[in-house]
A and B are shown apart, each in its own frame.
Chain A
Amino acid sequence: MTIKELKEMINLMEEHGLTELEIEKNDFKIRLKKGVSGTVVQEKVYSPARLTKDEGATQAGEPQQVEEAGVTVIRSPMVGTFYGAPAPDAEPYAVRGKEIQTGDVLCIIEAMKLMNEIKSEVSGRITDILVENGQPVEFDQPLFKIQKL
């Protein structure tokens, strides 16, 4: 939810004479209510999962996203630390836009001092890299998006 989107929602309410508007999406919910004096009052409601988590902590993971057509999400098969390259000064395995084949190494996940090469199950073009070098990852965490060609 950006400020721009928020402003748009408020404008829509004014335009159509609405006094109350509530939107729920995934774990996020917002209610906009027009106050007595005419100003718009904002109530933000977070789902219980968010309330007990610290900002910087490892998240429980996003709920299943709707899969876009032709895009495969590569998920982590283990718990560990994500490394994008075989060595700190080496070229990363995966970059946005790169075409890869099934079996190509996408990254390394280090678990208990062992480096595990994570290979792609599909061929295609890498459209998104969802984690950062050195980031701890959990089981099933989305790592890459590969667009079928």
Chain B
Amino acid sequence: MFHKILIANRGEVAVRIIRACRDLGIRTVAIYSKVDRESLHVRFADEAICIGEAPSSESYLNIPSIISAAEIADVDAIHPGYGFLAENPHFAEICESCQIKFIGPKPESVRLAGDKSLARETMRKAKVPILPGSKGVIVDQAEALRVANKMGYPVIIKAKAGGGGKGMKVAHNDGKLVNAFLTAQAEAEAAFGDRGVYIEKYITEPRHIEFQILGDSHGTIIHLGARDCSVQRRHQKLIEESPAPLLSKRLMKQMGEMAVRAARAFQYENAGTVEFLVDESEKFYFIEMNTRLQVEHPVTEVVTGIDLVKEQIRIASGQKLGFSQDAVKCNGHAIECRINAEDPDHNFLPSPGKIETLLLPGGPNIRVDTHVYQGYMISPYYDSMVAKIIAHGKDRTEAIQIMLRALKETVIAPVKTTISLHEKILHRPRFRQGKVTTGFIETNLIPSSVEQIETRKAG
């Protein structure tokens, strides 16, 4: 087992990892940028090293600085969290060459799954269902038009170096396609340094269903059930839950097996997530595999009773997975709300600033993952998530009720947060029925006045 781990991240996930390490008796080293000096992860860790100025490129993405910190602190392993360097195969390789264990999959798996076009090809070979689409990267407009017409509109153009909902453009006809294709290429170049794009069939009302994977270094790969992350705004998740509501046991079993098959095709080790889209006729398609711990991991932890971060650490230290697929049980229903410091009444304008009053919810069946404290200054340099609230009920109805109770208790002032939006969503009949698809927010809950919501059709 490791003696000391460096957490190459910040905020809520850094606190999460430090807690798991503490529980396992492992010493922790935090890294931080100048503006994060008063951060909770810095205070919690046994040691803390300042690595650079505020911008991520100079700090949390600064590989030489982070590796240097790891060396002077003499750590055995690095946990990359999510975001930042978590899916950077170059970083994973450097850790390996410096004899520091990267807590995650092998660099080759990160690379293979990270190239979204290559990943599709790997799935096709493994006979995991994928959306109809281009065989590889689209070279020019002519090819784009050919491919789109062959599979039929609507289509979606995606960056091969993208992921996490970024760098995607939808086109409904030939007229829109060329423009979408050229824009997508330009944006991909700017955002990911790679203008390669591919095309997939676009499903208009899909459900986003993902499976949590755990694989050890002895060849065992299992899944820990499904999460439904269909409540999204601009492809960023707002509410997640486990298990996925309304989908049949038969479908869940099929998809679970496909998820494990997909992970095996990537020779996967450690924690990861296989994402699918499910259409109205319950046909499902692989879209991507995320080779990291995910933000919404708590909903899986709460219903299965398995601590994913501790499992990540154990797997990385060489231990065999301590339980089989059959031993994984789903108990009740969990919902997570991602609370962001954004103003839902003004187009989600980020709302950084000092938290003067903080009252977090508590009581039975509530878990809060956060890095904020009263007096904490939310910085404008990083993402706007301030807390994750997770409610666990014996069924979905009870989980919703408990979450509403918890949201009512919560005070994060005077910054603006998305709590009011979460409350609105949880009250919508369509959400309560479990019939949410990824277009739900845009078509049912355009963020503005209550009057607009009343005039839209019910559900």
| Complex interface bits, A30-59 against B, C-beta within 8 A gives 1, otherwise 0 | 000000000000000000110011100111
B46 CB contacts on chain A under 8 angstroms = 52-54, 57
Check A52–B50 contact: CB distance below 8 A: no
Contacts A/B (CB < 8 Å), 27 sampled: A48-B43, A49-B43, A52-B45, A58-B72, A59-B48, A60-B37, A60-B42, A60-B48, A63-B37, A78-B65, A78-B68, A79-B49, A79-B51, A79-B65, A79-B68, A79-B69, A111-B68, A111-B71, A112-B67, A112-B71, A112-B98, A136-B49, A136-B72, A138-B69, A139-B49, A139-B53, A139-B65
Query: Which B residues between 63 and 84 are near A, CB-CB below 8 angstroms?
Result: 64-65, 67-69, 71-73
CB contact between B44 and one of A52, A54, A58 (< 8 Å): that residue: A52
Query: Which B residues between 29 and 70 are near A, CB-CB below 8 angstroms?
Result: 32, 34, 37-38, 42-53, 64-65, 67-69
Query: Which B residues between 336 and 350 are near A, CB-CB below 8 angstroms?
Result: none
Check A138–B49 contact: CB distance below 8 A: yes
Most chain A CB inside 10 Å of its own CB: which residue of B42, B45, B65: B65
Check A61–B68 contact: CB distance below 8 A: no
Binding site for A on B (CB under 8 A): 32, 34, 37-38, 42-53, 64-65, 67-69, 71-73, 98
Q: Nearest chain A CB to B4's CB is how many angstroms away?
A: 11
Given the known interface contacts A49-B43, A58-B49, A138-B49, the answer about A80 and B37 at a Cβ–Cβ threshold of 8 Å is no
A138 CB contacts on chain B under 8 angstroms = 49-51, 69
Query: Which A residues between 52 and 95 are near B, CB-CB below 8 angstroms?
Result: 52-54, 57-61, 63, 78-81
- Does more than half of chain A's interface fall in helix, strand or loop, or is it mixed? loop
Check B44–A139 contact: CB distance below 8 A: no
B65 CB contacts on chain A under 8 angstroms = 78-79, 139
Check B72–A81 contact: CB distance below 8 A: yes
B47 CB contacts on chain A under 8 angstroms = 53-54, 57-58
Q: Nearest chain A CB to B72's CB is how many angstroms away?
A: 4
For the complex, what is the distance from the CA of A112 to the CA of B98, rounded to whole Å?
Answer: 9
At the interface, yes or no: A117 with Cβ under 8 Å from chain B?
no
